[in-house]
Amino acid sequence: MLMRIGGTDTAGIDEYWIEVKNPATGTFIDRVPSGTSEDVARAVEAADAATGGWKKKTMRERGMILFHAAALVREQHKDIAQVLTEEQGKPLREAIDEVRGFANILEYYAGISARSSDETIRLGTSGDCMVVHEPIGICAAIIPWNMPVIIMGWKIGPALLAGNTMLLKPASTTPLSGLKLATILEKAGLPPGVLNIVTGSGESVGEAIVRHPLIRKVSFTGDCSTGKKIQAMASGTGKELTLELGGSDPMIVMDDADIDRAVEGAIRGRFYNTGQTCTAVKRLYVHDKIADAFVKKLQKRVESLKVGNGLEPGIDLGPMNSAGQRERIAGMVTDLIDKAEGAILAGGCSLTGPMFDPGYFYSPTLVSDVRPGSRLLNEEIFGPVLPVMSVPDLETAIREANRSRYGLGASVWTNNLATTKQVFDQVHAGIIWVNRHLTVPPEIPFGGINESGIGRENGSRALESYSRTKTLFLGW
């Protein structure tokens, strides 16, 4: 059996269980155990017991299990997506995309399992060397609520293929999709103890994971401040860390851009997943020459977006995932209004009343002429609020784009090669899109610089990050 560990004492139900509720309706969906450090220790024992057997399998054998799991996920994608929408809030269409994305990741890693990166180095008369990649051992994944399915895939795909065993801690508001996927992996042939899900809070389960001496790598995705705490806790332990943290991605639209395409890019880039995406467009800079026409079209599109329960057809934005997330966004917009730091062109308020209560809905919001000191430009806006500013030239756009402690992604909308090169060379980010934003297929490395994090997910680099090289030197 795949282990699913959490607090098991049902005597004090409130103390021992986490209730999962639909953020669109407040309806109770299910409950999961509120785990403790003892549960983490038991999961580590299970992973430790499974490590030898899993490591001994060939990469192709492990890849076949991932491939089989991907096929089962595809078969059941509608059921998994339904669970994801219910617990997270996103429109069902986006949940289906995300579940298919998870299958894509497993298939990608299954596909590269046939390609060994081990090497032989011949040193003439001194000898020959063989460099092999070995798994790290027990790795942990701590994941957030915004894209719980895809982020689980980003971590377990390369980690399991490389031969590691794992503990995974989902966020407290979105544990159900991950548990469902773990059951599918088990059906696909993943041996007991190879993947262990421990549900619970960050303070109890998350910290116990980071502090456990047998866990040799932690891959964390979440808030910048949590990432810093984890880095401090792991300091001096020699544990490897991948930190995928926040972002404040700029989007630059130049005067030669296809305006309609760029408007649609901004809509998807900002409002997908109700704006709760790490690489969402969080600051939009438009060239003066096209700013009026662009903003007029954008405003119309923002006003046309349909907000509601993600399970209903035709919905563009679901609720925010929690009351706290909505309060934070509402607080940032209220600050801007109170301090006259910008002009609200659309939205700008929580959506309440019989159509929306008790869901955590917020109106798609467009704000123009935002002052440099505003929180909207200096903090991560993790919700459906888009600040748009006009700029006189590319140099100003690049300077403003770089005015951030983050460096996750950025995009430029242009047909000019020289503009593209200038942005690519000068904007500080882990990925620069041209006439695109947000797209992250499994093949390309993904991750940030500066306070957006350390390390890369996806692609062959992620696989390498879950392994260590070991060298055999043969002296003849």
Which tokens in the block code for residue 55? Answer: 């490591």
63 or 319: CB nearest ligand NAD: 319
| 3-state class (DSSP) for residue 128 | strand
**Catalytically annotated residue among 94, 186, 244, 341:** 244
Minimum distance, C-beta of residue 386 to ligand NAD, in the bound complex (Å): 16
Distance CA 52, CA 380 (A): 42
Minimum distance, C-beta of residue 422 to ligand NAD, in the bound complex (Å): 25
Is residue 347 near ligand NAD by the rule CB under 6 A? no
Q: Which residues pair with residue 411 across a beta bridge?
A: 251, 433
- Closest by alpha carbon to 109, among 447, 365, 463, 403? 463
Minimum distance, C-beta of residue 440 to ligand NAD, in the bound complex (Å): 9
228 or 421: CB nearest ligand NAD: 228
State how far Cα 285 lies from the chain centre. 24
Distance CA 94, CA 328 (A): 24
273 or 309: CB nearest ligand NAD: 273
Which tokens in the block code for residue 372? Answer: 């440099």
Is residue 275 near ligand NAD by the rule CB under 6 A? no
Residue from 159, 162, 171, 234 that binds ligand NAD (CB under 6 A)? 171
Q: What are phi and psi of 58, to 5 degrees?
A: -75, 160
HSE-CB at 16 with a 13 A cutoff on CA atoms is: 10
DSSP states of 399-467: HHHT-SS--SEEEEE-S-HHHHHHHHHHS--SEEEES--S---TTS-B--SGGGEES-BSHHHHHHHTE
- Closest by alpha carbon to 40, among 215, 176, 174, 159? 215
| 3-state class (DSSP) for residue 345 | strand
457 tagged catalytic = yes
106 or 278: CB nearest ligand NAD: 278
129 tagged catalytic = no
**Catalytically annotated residue among 107, 139, 155, 224:** 155
Contacts of 292 (CB under 8 A, 6+ apart): none
Residue from 2, 143, 159, 197 that binds ligand NAD (CB under 6 A)? 143
In sign, the C-alpha dihedral spanning 185, 159, 99, 143 is positive
**Catalytically annotated residue among 86, 139, 239, 278:** 278
Residue from 14, 15, 203, 338 that binds ligand NAD (CB under 6 A)? 203
Interacting positions 206-235 with ligand NAD (CB under 6 A): 206-207, 210, 221-223, 226, 229-230
| 3-state class (DSSP) for residue 476 | coil
155 tagged catalytic = yes
Is residue 409 near ligand NAD by the rule CB under 6 A? no
193 or 222: CB nearest ligand NAD: 222
Interacting positions 367-406 with ligand NAD (CB under 6 A): 380, 382
Q: What are phi and psi of 243, to 5 degrees?
A: -120, 115
Which tokens in the block code for residue 28? Answer: 């109770």
Q: What is the DSSP letter of 147?
A: S
Residue from 244, 316, 341, 451 that binds ligand NAD (CB under 6 A)? 244
C-alpha dihedral over 380, 382, 384, 390, to 10 degrees? 10
139 tagged catalytic = no
Minimum distance, C-beta of residue 111 to ligand NAD, in the bound complex (Å): 22
Residue from 63, 89, 247, 455 that binds ligand NAD (CB under 6 A)? 247
48 or 207: CB nearest ligand NAD: 207
Is residue 448 near ligand NAD by the rule CB under 6 A? yes
Minimum distance, C-beta of residue 234 to ligand NAD, in the bound complex (Å): 10
Q: Are 57 and 47 in contact, with CB atoms under 8 Å apart? A: no
Residue from 63, 91, 163, 202 that binds ligand NAD (CB under 6 A)? 202
- Catalytic positions, please? 155, 244, 278, 457
* Binding residues for ligand NAD (CB under 6 A): 142-147, 151, 169, 171-172, 201-203, 206-207, 210, 221-223, 226, 229-230, 244-247, 278, 380, 382, 408, 448, 452-453
